[in-house]
Structure 1
Amino acid sequence: MTFSVVARDPDTGEMGIAVSSCILAVGRAVPSARPGVGVVAVQARSPRGSGHVLLSGLAEGTAPAVLVRRAAHAAEDQDRQIAVLDAAGAVAADTGPGSFPVSGHLLGEGWSVQGNMLTSPEVLPAMAQAYEAARGDLADRLLAALTVGQDTGGDLRGRQSAALLVVSGEPATEEDDGVRTDLRVDDSGDPVAQLRMLRNLQRAYDERDYETLALFAPEGARDLYAALAASRRGDRTAAREALEAVRARPGWSAWLASMAGDSRLSAVSRLLG
């Protein structure tokens, strides 16, 4: 009923999972992750509390292969599927003998792809090949694998939700929760495509890509980003027009005044001065 990929980036130590399914809000059900500890996928009819238990086992130093064997031995329901990845890149997976056909998993160096109730046996090999061939950061490579899984057929029942979760290889601290990406599409006719759009939007925020945000940010904030983009281009007229549009909205003038110390807005003010 679900297909997913878990992986670790050997260069950054980041760990993550991308998953899609024809169920509502798969991001609530399948992925679990803990910075500095590992990532878990709990699929098919595996008990939903398994993710917490498996992460606790990783935190105690138990190897993924041992945790997977224990879970498989203790399972009463044969329609189960799990994958476990630790902060060192060790990975293990199990697909119960009664899991919905087509089902299975494939393991590689620091990654695993798994799925059940798939349209064909070609889905998982295609995902594996796509992950290994992909470039970019871990989130992008996970999405590349998920996209190919969907394009190859994905879930036999159709499409509904998808999620992308990436965490740091280092434990969370008070200053940094260790979550690098946490995006979910809970109900959509094309959730993987929607997830890619969200990833692109997140990248625009992270990289301060004001030109993109002026087009795709929430409508109320687009004029602000248009002003910032024009300021960066040195376009005084466009910056003034966009900023005046922001000020015209009820309450925004007070907000702009409160943000006077923000370096981004001060750049706009200098341009208009």
Structure 2
Amino acid sequence: MKKLYILILATFVSLTSFSQDTFSIIAVDPVTGEIGSAGASCVTGIGSQGIIDIITKILPGRGGVNSQAYVCIPNTNLNNAIAQMEMGASPSEIIDYLIANDACSSPAFDPEWRQYGIADFDTNGDPRTAGFTGNLADDYKEDRQGATFSIQGNILLNQTVIDNMENNFNSTTGTLADKLMAALQGANFAGADSRCLAAGTSSTTAYLLVYKQDDDPNEPYLRLNVGEQASGIEPIDLLQDLYDAFLTVDENSLQNNIELFPNPATTIVNIVHGASISVKSMTLYDIQGKQVYAQTNVDKSAIQHQIAVNHLKSGVYFIQLHTNKGDTRLQFVKK
């Protein structure tokens, strides 16, 4: 499945000229080349479109920017940041540019109202991150960077929001999407965005967005958007439901189009798949999770692949396939 685009509808109300947007994360995966973003906010009048197209933009294979706190609609600062990224600027250089060239008239062309998070890959494929929080953004406010991510929030209940998001991202194993979803769950408590404290929710709207390295900019691998919800309905819970459904559909779609034989195997394992699937890499693990084989220079046009297993000890093994339609795991027994 290349893309799953799901909306939960809410009544649309005209937007104000600017919007406060609260907690979000932008991150990259140096192993897979994926870039993703996730966020949530307690805004009203945003309707079914939510904040996904207002605060985040991603250039597949390069990087992404989150722009929040008193943003213009359309978000001219976000568009300018992406333009700088396309021209080769680093995250820190983009931040410097945005501070020197604030393009939003409300309030007052003043970068001290804004908040940014940026993550990208340099020309060697190494991750870089940067962030900025203006001193006029509403408290509690903070941006925090790791090697592969930037987390930022304003109008937060307290520092716990950022702490939980960072801890969940760092402690979660799995795909970039898994880690982003876990980070957002770290803020799933009443008043994470302090405006929603009385409603007993973290926010009113949430999203999750992931691009694989070779995705078309208009066709992300994963785009899940929960539009504005009524008071008392938790959007991060709804987003988790959408993500769980996506994983089920995505995995089943791949599994139904991939065959592994013979199983049990003695000398060779063959992997055959449909023509619409392109395998980018294959990694073999033993039952303890130890990597015993990896191939990254796979012929992407081939529909059949072979892995020699004659040197392996008897036991259960797993092959992790990274494809244009997502990742999946195959199991076989070595005699």
TM-score by length of 2: 0.58
Is the counterpart of residue 80 in structure 1 residue 114 in structure 2?
A: yes
TM-fit CA distance, 1:81: 0.5
Contact 2:60 2:212 in 1 (8 A): yes
Instruction: Classify the secondary structure of the residue corresponding to 2:97.
Output: helix
TM-fit CA distance, 1:7: 0.8
Distance between the aligned counterparts of 1:102 and 1:122, measured in 2? Answer: 10
Q: Judging changes above 3 Å, is the alpha-carbon distance between structure 1 residues 161 and 53 closer, same or farther for their aligned structure 2 residues?
A: same
Distance between the aligned counterparts of 1:152 and 1:170, measured in 2? Answer: 38
- 2:27 corresponds to which letter in structure 1? A
Q: Quick one: which of 42, 54, 59 aligns to 2:86?
A: 59
Distance between the aligned counterparts of 1:63 and 1:155, measured in 2? Answer: 30
Instruction: Classify the secondary structure of the residue corresponding to 1:90.
Output: strand
Tell me what 1:115 maps to. Answer: 153
Q: Quick one: which of 213, 218, 239 aligns to 1:169?
A: 213
Moved over 4 A (4+): none
Structure 2 unpaired stretches of 5+: 1-20, 103-108, 197-202, 254-335
Q: Quick one: which of 1, 15, 35 aligns to 1:15?
A: 35
Distance between the aligned counterparts of 1:187 and 1:46, measured in 2? Answer: 18
Q: Quick one: which of 17, 25, 28 aligns to 2:53?
A: 28
Kindly report the root-mean-square deviation, in angstroms, between the aligned alpha carbons of the 2 structures: 2.0
Distance between the aligned counterparts of 1:53 and 1:69, measured in 2? Answer: 12
- 1:4 corresponds to which letter in structure 2? S
TM-fit CA distance, 1:74: 2.4
Distance between the aligned counterparts of 2:219 and 2:227, measured in 1? Answer: 23
Q: Quick one: which of 132, 155, 163 aligns to 2:193?
A: 155
TM-fit CA distance, 1:206: 0.8
- 1:17 corresponds to which letter in structure 2? S
Q: Judging changes above 3 Å, is the alpha-carbon distance between structure 1 residues 92 and 56 closer, same or farther for their aligned structure 2 residues?
A: same
Tell me what 2:244 maps to. Answer: 200
Q: Quick one: which of 203, 216, 227 aligns to 1:186?
A: 227
- 1:182 corresponds to which letter in structure 2? R
Instruction: Classify the secondary structure of the residue corresponding to 1:109.
Output: coil
TM-score by length of 1: 0.71
More helix by share: 1
Tell me what 1:240 maps to. Answer: none
TM-fit CA distance, 1:152: 7.5
- 1:128 corresponds to which letter in structure 2? E
Structure 1 unpaired stretches of 5+: 210-273
Contact 1:54 1:84 in 2 (8 A): no
Distance between the aligned counterparts of 1:28 and 1:58, measured in 2? Answer: 18
More strand by share: 2
